């Protein structure tokens, strides 16, 4: 039976093509000069350059974290190119009509048409290609509502006060090794500001694509939801199929002011490498949000890609009555390794957090949940509920759970539960006896296992996530 | 005929989780009387018991409750218990690790202390406890087990009656102590109650079924609906209800202009 | 490096007994091991400063002996300040007990196979104990022997440093019950490690009462090897002190083995207690059930790390770990981390950890019967712990221990009554 499941799991990576786009790419290497050059390319003000250099100095003093349940060779940061942009972007296109058609075709192939007329109504997209943002759609419509949605490189110029105030306010420059590196070399990403009391009229979405060889992608996202506002943000990512590993070290910062709500959803589908573990993206990501009074941040992630995933979207529940949520599906196969989870830091009274994590391990992969729930002395009557479930498919993979629970408040309640199970022969037999083929059966069982998380995704993404899992489980049984 | 009241409930209003449940409930109980309360699911019968016992989260928003001449609405749960109020629960909670015996002794001693009596010696207590358990047909081993831990539904109910026997309250409220019981157990519960009837002790018996009232003859039967006593009568009312059900309540409500007004404005 | 460790090692005399080789190996490993810091995962929440910073009391022989549990047959051995107090004189068929410093050839051979067989080398103070422990006993139970009396090893200390090691071997189908009991509240250092090697079908009932408290610095370990179809039932009861650490390892080295472990910690004042438990399922069809409960009062701190590791070959394993904690005061602290590492798919594993308040419904129930809120809280807290005590296989021990715990609860009385 296991063999059939394995076959069912053999997946093709549909986003693995390379686009023939002429790019301007820095030669590999990292030093202060490179950072000055990145800053110069973006025509940045002095304060931004100083900020980068400070982070770089800190990074050089830091060491790669080694506590995760991950195994990978030492990364040589001098072998990576830190900037790559399509040539056609040299003099910024003013509108969609000026954008290189090959670029538009690339996104279309990925299922993300950037021509507004063809788009799913209700979703505005910022498309980041290698190191730069190529298009942001629906900007006029958003501006009407007072919502700012633009590449962060542009925000540095247009909204320097907002950027200065919030950049690094949630994830400080020295937070961790990869965050520090990102601070030094980040090239682009999205900036969102929702003014007081505004309910963002459409879903915002950024689509990241790595195309060039030997480049790293270091994007930076900053979302500020002012008092009483609401925004739902979606993030997707893909990369071509290549034999060498590529580095992706992103930072996402969320600020939810009093009574604001941010919903952040990710479908991560970076190239995972082949069956033998050749190639694939090393995905080291720092995501964190801060919740002020009565605010809510909800992270939902579906992680199917990357050779290595190191990612802990977190919430600092600073304000009283604030709410943090983390819903995650992580699927690993082949030789993929994932070490992912969340941190819920309860500082305010009556703060609440929910963690639902579903790990699916197949092939020779390793899938770990790592989480921290901390109840600080001020977190009176705070509550946490955590449920971590692992599903093992085959006897060559690993499923691991490392939850840290720290409580210093007698009125706080923390509940953590974890289980492991497998797709049992009984379940498969039942499905087959009712006429389903094993491939469909496995996909159904896995989908059922993930249901609690999928229902948290915005509709379009839920469909995409379901499809992604299905593709992952595709390959058909002979 | 005595005019003395054991329990006086006047215009009692209470809410749970911001939801109004009791909406002006009146009830007078004299010493020695047995009152049966019937009524549809969700009417507020259990809530009435919880409110009388002082359970946290059940907030009195209006009206008064006087037990034996004392206003009890500001009293703690345990003070009310020691003042003679006993509630036999519809769903008794399990408390693993705390032995029934230890718990019962603490409860009995607390009651005695309130009456200015010395705690019972372990020996005397054990004797009383054994007798009580025998009366309700619970093997003595149950005394050693955790409170209600792993007890069957019927055993839990019998354990409640045993506690009532030991604590000798003035007012016993039995919340569906008959549900989930086989015929023999039903008799055990009824005998427990009847053996305690002494002309002074009063009972409020919440039930859905006539059959318990065959054993415990009520002096009055009340129908509680939507947080109020909507009809009262003698024992024959229970038989009537058994035959008719509660559909007539809906008609009554339609005829109630105030109620209609409320629903319209919502 | 630690000043305490330097000094302790300087006093190590590598005498030429049967465990000399083991000692030399550990000494070398120890020298290569960095002293733990906050960044050392195994010591993340437990600082070792008190070892270097506190003045150690002078030990003396003026020591109170605790009472014995009644209603059970006992073989009792007393260690005072790390030294065995009397000659061992046991005449029970199938049972050998011998002092480690006085082993005959045959016993030496057994000691060599048990020593460092169940205890992994990674425990820092385990290595210290390897090097320094000269005292302790070898207990060997012959194949098929069912030893009726319970062996009670009582350790009393009021100062100085002690390093005690017990090696216990159960032959095939052997059955025995062992109590390890540790007491003392003065400023002293004690490393106490025991290893249990269970043969096929052997059954061990194990009790470890770590009742050291106050200024005691207690560093300890219990390690078990389980052969085919063997069973262990272990109860750990621990108070805290300035520094208390217990490392437990359960190794399913054979198939169809069963391990149950109930652990309790009860902390007051500024005490610290750190329990690291590790279960290795290396063979198929093993079962492990662990229940760990703690009550933490005053400004005490508890640390629990419970790892279950299912190796690739260990199919059909059933493993469950449950940790529950009650914090009594705003200054009390708990850090808990249940871990699962699973490499086999056909297994059933679960763990849970909670930090919670007392059950409100239970509190209401007790109060509605006239029990005061304070008494109800004490009763519920005691019940929380007592649930595990009552599972101990020897009933007389239960009653004796309940007495000990009630005293401890008496100390916590005022805190048990304050809400949140
Ligand atoms: N904590 C609560 N929050 C909100 N509503 C509640 C709560 N507790 C009870 N209620 C509601 O109050 C109403 C009365 O409940 P109650 O348990 O008193 O009914 P009852 O008459 O005892 O019903 P039954 O015959 O089913 O036992 C119900 O509608 C119930 O749903
Ligand atoms: Mg009811």
Are residues A22 and A86 in contact, defined by beta-carbon separation less than 8 angstroms? yes
**CB-based contact, A418 to chain C, within 8 Å:** yes
With a 6 Å cutoff on the Cβ, whether B82 touches ligand 1 is: no
Q: pLDDT for A157-210, tens place per residue?
A: 999 999 999 999 999 999 999 999 999 999 888 899 999 999 988 888 888 777
Confirm whether B110 is domain-assigned: no
pLDDT at C161: 95
pLDDT band at C11 (very low <50, low <70, confident <90, very high): confident
Helices (H), B37-151: 45-53, 77-82, 100-114, 122-135, 141-144
Helix C373-389, helix C395-417: angle, nearest 10: 150
Please tell me which residue of chain C has the smallest CA distance to A417.
C352
Pairing of the two strands B146-147 and B95-99? antiparallel
A137 band by pLDDT with thresholds 50, 70 and 90: confident
Reply yes or no on whether the pLDDT at C201 is more than 60.
yes
What lies within 8 Å, CB to CB, of C91 at 6+ separation is: none
Better pLDDT: A463 or B239: B239
Residue A476 confidence (pLDDT)? 23
Coil, helix or strand at residue B153:
helix
Residue B121 lies in a domain: no
User: How far, in Å, CA of A281 to CA of A240, rounded?
Assistant: 10
Torsion, Cα of B3, B8, B10, B12 (10° steps): -170
What are the pLDDT digits (tens) for C87-123?
888 889 999 999 999 999 999 999 999 999 999 999 9
Confidence of residue B180 (pLDDT cuts 50, 70, 90): confident
Smallest Cβ–Cβ distance between B81 and the set C370, C379, C388 belongs to C370
Alpha helices in chain B (DSSP H): 45-53, 77-82, 100-114, 122-135, 141-144, 153-167, 183-196, 210-215, 236-244, 247-254, 257-265
Is the separation of the CB atoms in C373 and B78 below 8 Å?
Answer: yes
Quick one: which of C67, C71, C74 has its CA closest to C148?
C74
Q: Domain holding B235: CATH number? A: 3.40.50.300
Q: Of the candidates C167, C2, C162, C188, which has an alpha carbon nearest to the alpha carbon of residue C79? A: C162
Does residue B91 have a pLDDT over 70? Answer: yes
Structure confidence at residue B38 (pLDDT): 93
Average pLDDT over residues C210-238: 97
B18 assigned to some structural domain: yes
Verify whether the Cβ–Cβ distance A401 to C339 is below 8 Å: yes
> Do the domain assignments include residue B46?
yes
* pLDDT the model gives residue C274: 98
pLDDT band at B266 (very low <50, low <70, confident <90, very high): very low
Assign B87 a pLDDT band (cuts: 50, 70, 90): very high
CA atoms within 13 A on the CB side of A311: 31
- Confirm if C286 and C251 have CB atoms less than 8 A apart: no
Residues 6+ positions from A246 with CB-CB distance below 8 Å: A210, A214, A215, A216, A217, A239, A280, A281, A282
- Residue A112 in this model has a pLDDT that exceeds 50: yes
- Is any atom of ligand 1 closer than 6 Å to the C-beta of B154? no
Confidence label for A139 from pLDDT (cuts 50, 70 and 90): confident
Residue C159 to residues B89, C80, C187, C345: CA-CA distances in angstroms? 55, 10, 6, 51
What is the crossing angle of helices C360-368 and B100-114, to 10°?
50
Query: What's the domain range around B221?
Result: 7-95+169-265
Task: State the average pLDDT over residues A391-415.
Answer: 93
Q: Which residues of C touch B163 (CB under 8 A)?
A: 369
Confidence tier at B194 by pLDDT (50, 70, 90): very high
Q: Is the pLDDT of residue A241 over 80?
A: no
Higher-confidence residue: B101 or C193? C193
Task: Please report, for residues B246, B252, B263, the alpha-carbon distance to residue B231 in angstroms, rounded to integers and kept in the order given.
Answer: 11, 11, 22
Axis crossing angle, helix A2-9 with helix A438-454, rounded to the nearest 10? 70
pLDDT of residue A477: 26
B177 vs C325, more confident? C325
- Whether B146 is covered by a domain: the verdict is no
Is B61 part of a structural domain of the chain? Answer: yes
Residue B264 has pLDDT above 50, yes or no: no
Q: Bigger pLDDT: C411 or C85?
A: C85
Partner C, chain A 268-307, Cβ-Cβ below 8 Å? none
DSSP state of C67: P
ipTM over 0.85: yes
Answer whether C touches B (≥3 Cβ pairs < 8 Å). Answer: yes
Taking an 8 Å cut-off on Cβ atoms, the answer to whether C365 and B93 are in contact is yes
**Residue showing tokens 């002395």:** A377
Instruction: Tell which wins on pLDDT, B1 or A252.
Output: A252
Is B16 within the bounds of a domain?
A: yes
A379 vs C: CB within 8 A? no
CB atoms within 10 A of CB C230: 28
Q: Which two tokens stand for residue A374?
A: 């901390």
**pLDDT score, position C121:** 92
pLDDT at B99 over 90: no
**Exposed, middle or buried by CB within 10 Å (0-12, 13-18, 19+), for C274?**
buried
pLDDT at B183 (0 to 100): 83
Question: How close is the Cα of B113 to the center of ligand 1, in Å?
Answer: 34
- CB-based contact (8 Å) between C365 and chain B? yes
pLDDT value for B201: 93
Confidence of residue B262 (pLDDT cuts 50, 70, 90): very low
Task: Express as a percent the part of chain C with pLDDT over 90.
Answer: 80
Which residues have C-beta under 5 Å from ligand 2, the single-atom ion? Answer: B 45-46, 90
Q: Is B182 within the bounds of a domain?
A: yes
Contact C334, A405 (CB under 8 A): yes
- The four Cα atoms C395, C398, C400, C401 give a dihedral, to 10 degrees, of 160
Q: Report, as an integer, the average pLDDT of C207-224.
A: 97
Share of chain A above pLDDT 70, in %: 84
Chains that touch B (3 or more CB pairs under 8 A): C
CA-wise closest residue to A126 among A137, A113, A116, A118: A137
Mean pLDDT of C346-364: 92
Token pair 């083995």: residue: C257
Q: Is B156 in the pocket of ligand 1 (CB under 6 A)?
A: no
Residues A312-331, mean pLDDT to the nearest whole number: 95
In chain A, the N- to C-terminal Cα span, in Å, equals 13
Q: What is the pLDDT of residue B30?
A: 95
Q: Which among C115, C89, C96 is positioned nearest to C18, based on CA atoms? A: C115
Give percent helix, percent strand, percent coil of chain B, each to the nearest 5: 40, 25, 30
Domain count, chain B: 1
A273 within 8 A of A240, measured Cβ to Cβ: no
Substitution site in B38, B42, B225 for ligand 1 pocket (most atoms within 8 Å of beta carbon):
B42
The whole-number pLDDT of residue A122 equals: 59
- What residues in C contact A398, CB-CB < 8 Å? 341-343
């Amino acid at each position: 039976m296991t063999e059939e499941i394995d076959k069912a799991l053999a997946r093709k990576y549909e986003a693995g093509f390379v686009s023939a786009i002429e790019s301007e790419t820095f030669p590999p290497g990292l030093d202060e000069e490179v950072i000055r050059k990145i800053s110069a390319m973006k025509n940045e003000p002095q304060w931004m350059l100083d900020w980068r250099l400070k982070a770089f100095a800190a990074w050089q003093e830091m060491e790669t974290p080694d506590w995760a349940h991950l195994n990978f060779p030492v990364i040589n940061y001098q072998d990576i190119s830190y900037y790559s942009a399509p040539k056609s972007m040299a003099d910024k296109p003013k509108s969609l009509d000026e954008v290189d058609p090959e670029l538009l075709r690339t996104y279309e192939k990925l299922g993300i048409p950037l021509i507004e007329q063809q788009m799913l109504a209700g979703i505005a997209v910022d498309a980041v290609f290698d190191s730069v943002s190529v298009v942001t759609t629906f900007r006029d419509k958003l501006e009407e509502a007072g919502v700012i949605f633009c590449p962060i490189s542009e925000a540095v110029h247009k909204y320097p006060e907002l950027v200065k105030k919030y950049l690094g306010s949630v994830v400080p420059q020295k937070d961790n090794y990869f965050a520090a590196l990102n601070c030094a070399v980040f090239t682009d990403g999205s900036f969102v500001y929702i003014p007081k009391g505004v309910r963002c009229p459409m879903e915002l979405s950024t689509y990241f694509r790595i195309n060039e060889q030997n480049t790293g992608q270091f994007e930076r996202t900053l979302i500020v939801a002012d008092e009483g506002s609401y925004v739902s943000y979606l993030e997707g990512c893909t990369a071509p199929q290549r034999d060498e590993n590529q580095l992706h070290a992103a930072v996402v910062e969320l600020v939810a002011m009093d009574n604001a709500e941010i919903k952040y959803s990710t479908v991560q589908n970076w190239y995972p490498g082949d069956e033998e573990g050749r190639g694939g993206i090393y995905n080291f990501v720092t995501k964190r949000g801060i919740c002020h009074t009565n605010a809510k941040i909800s992270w939902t992630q579906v992680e199917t890609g990357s050779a290595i995933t190191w990612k802990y979207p977190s919430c600092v529940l600073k304000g009283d009555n604030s709410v943090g949520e983390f819903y995650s599906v992580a699927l690993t196969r082949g030789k993929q390794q994932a070490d992912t989870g969340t941190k819920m830091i309860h500082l305010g009274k009556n703060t609440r957090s929910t963690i639902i994590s579903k790990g699916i391990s197949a092939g020779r992969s390793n899938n770990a949940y790592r989480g921290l729930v901390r109840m600080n002395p001020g977190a009176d009557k705070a509550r946490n509920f955590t449920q971590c479930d692992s599903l093992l498919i085959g006897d060559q993979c690993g499923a691991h759970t490392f939850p840290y629970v720290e409580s210093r408040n007698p009125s706080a309640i923390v509940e953590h539960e974890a289980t492991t199970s497998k797709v049992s022969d009984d379940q498969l037999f039942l499905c087959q006896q009712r006429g389903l083929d094993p491939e469909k059966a496995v996909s159904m069982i896995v989908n059922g296992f993930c249901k609690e998380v999928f229902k948290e995704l915005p509709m379009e993404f839920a469909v995409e996530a379901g499809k992604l899992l299905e593709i992952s489980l595709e390959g058909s049984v002979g | 005929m005595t005019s003395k009241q054991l329990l006086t409930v006047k215009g009692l209003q209470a809410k749970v989780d911001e939801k109004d449940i009791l909406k002006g409930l009146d009830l007078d109980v004299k010493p020695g009387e047995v009152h049966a309360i019937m009524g549809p699911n969700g009417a507020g019968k259990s809530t009435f018991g919880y409110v009388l016992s002082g359970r946290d989260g059940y907030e009195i928003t209006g009206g008064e409750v006087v037990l034996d001449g004392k206003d009890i609405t500001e009293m703690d749960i345990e003070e009310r218990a020691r003042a003679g109020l006993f509630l036999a629960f519809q769903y008794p909670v399990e408390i693993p690790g705390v032995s029934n015996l230890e718990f019962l002794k603490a409860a009995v001693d607390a009651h005695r202390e309130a009456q200015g009596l010395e705690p019972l010696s372990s020996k005397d207590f054990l004797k009383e406890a054994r007798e009580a358990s025998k009366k309700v047909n619970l093997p003595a081993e149950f005394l050693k087990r955790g409170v209600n831990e792993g007890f069957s539904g019927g055993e839990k109910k019998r354990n409640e009656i045993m506690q009532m026997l030991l604590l000798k309250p003035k007012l016993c409220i039995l919340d569906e102590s008959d549900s989930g019981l086989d015929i023999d157990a039903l008799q055990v519960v009824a005998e427990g109650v009847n053996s305690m009837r002494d002309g002074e002790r009063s009972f409020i018996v919440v039930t859905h079924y006539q059959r318990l009232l065959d054993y415990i003859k009520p002096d009055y039967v009340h129908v509680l609906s939507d947080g109020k006593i909507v009809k009262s009568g003698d024992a024959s009312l229970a038989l009537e209800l058994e035959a008719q059900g509660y559909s007539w309540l809906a008609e009554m409500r339609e005829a109630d202009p105030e109620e209609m007004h409320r629903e319209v404005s919502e | 490096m630690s000043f305490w460790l330097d000094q302790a090692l300087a006093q190590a005399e590598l005498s030429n007994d049967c465990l000399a080789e083991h000692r030399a190996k550990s000494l070398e490993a120890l020298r290569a091991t960095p002293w733990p810091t906050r960044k050392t995962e195994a010591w993340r929440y437990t600082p070792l400063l008190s070892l270097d910073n506190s003045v150690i009391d002078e030990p003396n022989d003026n020591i109170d002996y605790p009472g014995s549990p009644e209603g059970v047959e006992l073989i009792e051995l007393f260690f005072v300040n790390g030294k065995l107090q009397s000659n061992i004189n046991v005449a029970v068929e199938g049972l050998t007990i011998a002092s480690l410093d006085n082993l005959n050839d045959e016993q030496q051979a057994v000691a060599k196979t048990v020593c460092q067989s169940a205890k992994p080398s990674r425990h820092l103070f385990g290595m210290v104990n390897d090097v320094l422990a000269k005292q302790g006993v070898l207990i060997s139970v012959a194949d098929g022997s069912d030893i009726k009396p319970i062996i009670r090893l009582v350790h009393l200390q009021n100062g100085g440093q002690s390093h005690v090691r017990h090696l216990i071997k159960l032959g095939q189908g052997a059955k025995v019950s062992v109590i390890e009991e540790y007491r003392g509240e003065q400023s002293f250092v004690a490393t106490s490690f025991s290893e249990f090697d269970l043969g096929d079908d052997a059954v061990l009932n194990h009790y470890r009462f770590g009742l050291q408290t106050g200024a005691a610095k207690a560093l300890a370990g219990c390690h078990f090897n389980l052969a085919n179809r063997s069973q262990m039932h272990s109860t750990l009861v621990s108070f805290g002190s300035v520094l208390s650490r217990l490392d437990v390892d359960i190794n399913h080295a054979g198939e169809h083995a069963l391990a149950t472990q109930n652990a309790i910690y009860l902390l007051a004042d500024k005490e610290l207690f750190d329990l690291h438990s590790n279960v290795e399922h290396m063979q198929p069809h093993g079962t492990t059930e662990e229940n760990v409960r703690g009550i933490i009062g005053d400004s005490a701190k508890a640390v629990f790390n419970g790892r279950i590791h299912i190796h690739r070959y260990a199919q059909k394993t059933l493993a469950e770990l449950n940790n529950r904690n009650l914090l009594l005061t705003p200054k009390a602290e708990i850090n808990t981390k249940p871990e699962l590492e699973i490499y086999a798919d056909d297994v059933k594993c679960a763990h849970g950890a909670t930090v919670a308040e007392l059950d409100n419904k239970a509190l209401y129930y007790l109060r509605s019967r006239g029990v005061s809120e304070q008494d109800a809280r004490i009763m519920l807290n005691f019940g929380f712990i007592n649930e595990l005590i009552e599972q101990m296989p020897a009933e007389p021990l239960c009653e004796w221990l309940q007495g000990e715990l009630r005293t401890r609860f008496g100390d916590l009385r005022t805190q048990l009554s304050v809400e949140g």
